[in-house]
Amino acid sequence: MKNNIKQNILIGNDEEIYKEFPKLKGIDYFCQVVITNKRLIIYTQGNNITSNRKVKKRGMKEIELNSISHSEYYLEYIKNSFLVKLIGFIFAIGALILAYGIYQQLITVPVYQYSGILNYVILGLVFIIGLVLMFRIKKILYFKVLSGFNVGTELELKPTKYNELALKYLASKFY
């Protein structure tokens, strides 16, 4: 199988390509989508985890447009757990307390070259890591198609503007 999806599919005489999306970015994989007047063709290549093993996988799915009964795309926000947020809060408050202690000379730190600035830089990085742990939100763009007798196809994509516009176009062509 070649990476170019047009070289892997056969187009009939009465079939024409509506749109091709060659640069969809999935999470840990590469994805291409072609929509014709009869079919939706999805080509994926990349890492997949099956039975606790990381495997490189290539796959192509062809879905007849007439058989599609349900399609949806949505953006899912995944927040950190309470424990991770608590650890981030402890890092941020600890870095602020240590910086205040060093500034007021309540805590004595060994003197080394550039210690006056380097202590604050390290504490600033710990503070930023704490803020990231508290407020980081992971976003995943899902595209689900249900066709035939409950045959489902799901793509997990990175939430880029190109991916969102491609999925919006695909969803408009089904109905």
- Write out the residue range of the structural domain in which residue 60 sits: 5-77+139-174
Report the CATH number at residue 45: 2.30.29
For 32-74, what is each residue's pLDDT tens digit? 888 888 888 888 888 777 777 888 888 888 888 888 888 888 8
pTM over 0.85: no
Report helix, strand and coil shares of the chain as percent, to nearest 5.
Answer: 35, 40, 25
Residues 26 and 111 in one domain: no
Q: Please state the φ and ψ torsions of residue 121, each to the nearest 5 degrees.
A: -65, -45
Residues 86 and 49 in one domain: no
For 104-147, what is each residue's pLDDT tens digit? 989 888 888 888 889 999 999 999 999 999 999 999 999 888 88
Residues 70 and 114 in one domain: no
Residues 10 and 73 in one domain: yes
The number of distinct structural domains making up the chain is 2
